[in-house]
Chain A
Amino acid sequence: MQNAGAGPAGSRDNSGRSKDTATPAKFLVGIGRGVGGALLFALPMLMTMEMWAFGVTMDRWRLVLLLLLALPLLIGISHRIGFEETFSWKVAGRDAMIAYGIGIVTSAVILSLFKLLMGDMPAQEITGKIAVQAIPASIGALLGRSQFGSGKDDADDDPKAGYGSELFMMAVGALFLNLNMAPTEEMILISYKMTPWHALATILISITLMHAFVYAVSFKGGHELSSNTPWWHALVRFTLPGYVIALVISLYSLWSFERLDGASFTPAIMAMIVLAFPGAIGACLRGSSCEETSWLTPHRSNQTAARSVAARIGSNG
């Protein structure tokens, strides 16, 4: 988490001052970072056999639903972190569309490179293959921007950067890892291998690890959880809601990729628990890395940090 934050902190000085002038060159740099992010996050999926097959076999309604749900998701992410500091939903929407475009083009190019897309394929196969990949790629384009570059200096001025926003970023983190893993057969295979005892242990470890991350990261900033805050406060406030989010996202991802079809309640629950484990890790890492730069501000000057804390307390009421 520290490392993830160090990148933005390093480049913050360069771009933070000139952010008022959105020159074409700056825009191109943003696009470049977006492509980098899309590649970084989507290459594992672009090179996964199951993902190619889903382009053809996936139920079209589930694909449409996934594509539609990606829109508010991208707008939400871009409102929080994006190609530029977005202060209005209109700009966030525009950035989300750019990210979607980057995701689609990047996926199409890479799939063509691997000879997975060819001119003589049916149009449905071509669009399906690109569509399945475009969602993780476009999320990557937005997240990559924050990993590679700047653009989050004023995130703490964002009125949305509150508890709900934190949970939203947890959902993004969970979804991100889940989109990576839900298509693979191993998720259900692991759940079949497990006994219910293993599943119980997985739940326990998921919650424990999540709580450790939430607790450790919150302490770093020294305000969300002061040392006299009881440990269960963070558990109830962040860890358990985060785990529930991870479970829901896991269930949706599995359903979306048709891993639950034909399975009855218990195998579905088992698979959900298996996939929620990486989801939980993704949720707290994503959530906390955002927290790190927006709320906890370990890399910033004391003055900015103090302002952030004040804003944070203010927004918390």
Chain B
Amino acid sequence: MIGWISYHAVVSSGGAPELSVRIIRQQPAPGGGYEVSFTVENKGTRTAAAVPVKGDVMDGDSVIETQEITFDYVPALSAATGALLFKTDPSTHQLDIRASGYTDP
């Protein structure tokens, strides 16, 4: 255990979070609207806190609908899952989901 931590101490100094969002599935939500499940991955060696994930439903260049959700933490080298609920069906439009920032914990 000490060896493992020491290895990371040497390797990970000065790292930053590297966030990426991957859509898992889209489906109609039971309570109406459309649910888009996604996972936020942090490939960096630092944990990101208060990560807002923003989803834009686009029709061409114009944004029809924006939903946002905030993750308390996305730990280093880990992933967190969540879902956004849209009123419009995102599968018939372009959908842009991304992590739009983070704070250091």
Q: Which residue of A has the minimal Cβ distance to B40?
A: A262
Q: In the complex the two chains form, is B78's CB within 8 Å of A200's CB? A: no
Interface residues on A, range: 20 to 34
Q: Mark A153-197, 1 if CB is under 8 A from B, else 0.
A: 000000000000000000000000000000001001100110111
Cross-chain contact A192 with B5 (CB below 8 angstroms): no
Q: Chain A interface mostly helix, strand, loop or mixed?
A: helix
Encode B45-84 as 1/0 by CB contact (under 8 A) with A. Answer: 0010100000000000000000000001101111111000
* Other-chain residue from B1, B47, B81 in contact with A269 (beta carbon distance below 8 A): B1
Q: Does B12 contact A (CB under 8 A)?
A: yes
Contact of A197 among B9, B75, B81 (CB under 8 A): B9
Instruction: Give the 6 A-B CB pairs with smallest separation, nearest first.
Output: A196-B9, A192-B47, A192-B105, A267-B75, A196-B8, A264-B77
Q: How far is the CA of A5 from the CA of B47 in the complex (A)?
A: 44
Other A-B contacts than A203-B2, A264-B75, A269-B4, 5 sampled, CB-CB below 8 A, are: A195-B12, A196-B6, A199-B5, A200-B2, A200-B9
Please, which residue of chain A has its CB at the minimum distance from the CB of B48? A192
CB distance from A264 to the nearest CB of B (A): 4
A210 to chain B: closest CB distance in Å?
A: 15
Chain B residues, CB < 8 A from A189? 49, 73, 105
A-B contact list, 9 entries, CB within 8 Å? A189-B73, A195-B12, A196-B8, A199-B5, A262-B75, A267-B75, A267-B78, A269-B4, A269-B5
A195 to B1: give the CA distance in the assembly, Å. 15
Interface residues of A, Cβ cutoff 8 Å to B: 185, 188-189, 192-193, 195-197, 199-200, 203, 247, 262-267, 269-270, 273
- Tell whether, in the assembled complex, residue B73 and residue A196 are in contact, meaning their CB atoms are under 8 Å apart: no
Number of B residues, CB within 8 Å of A: 21
- Could you tell me the distance in whole angstroms from the C-beta of A277 to the nearest C-beta in chain B? 14
Report B1-28 CB contacts with A as 1/0, cut-off 8 Å: 1101110110011000000000000000
Q: Shortest CB–CB separation between residue B59 and chain A, in angstroms?
A: 33
A196 to B5, Cβ gap below 8 A? yes
A265 CB contacts on chain B under 8 angstroms: 77
* Contact partners of A247 in chain B: CB under 8 A: 1
- The distance in angstroms between the C-alpha atoms of A197 and B105, with both chains bound, is 17
Closest B residue to A270 by CB, please name it: B5
Q: A200 to B5, Cβ gap below 8 A?
A: yes
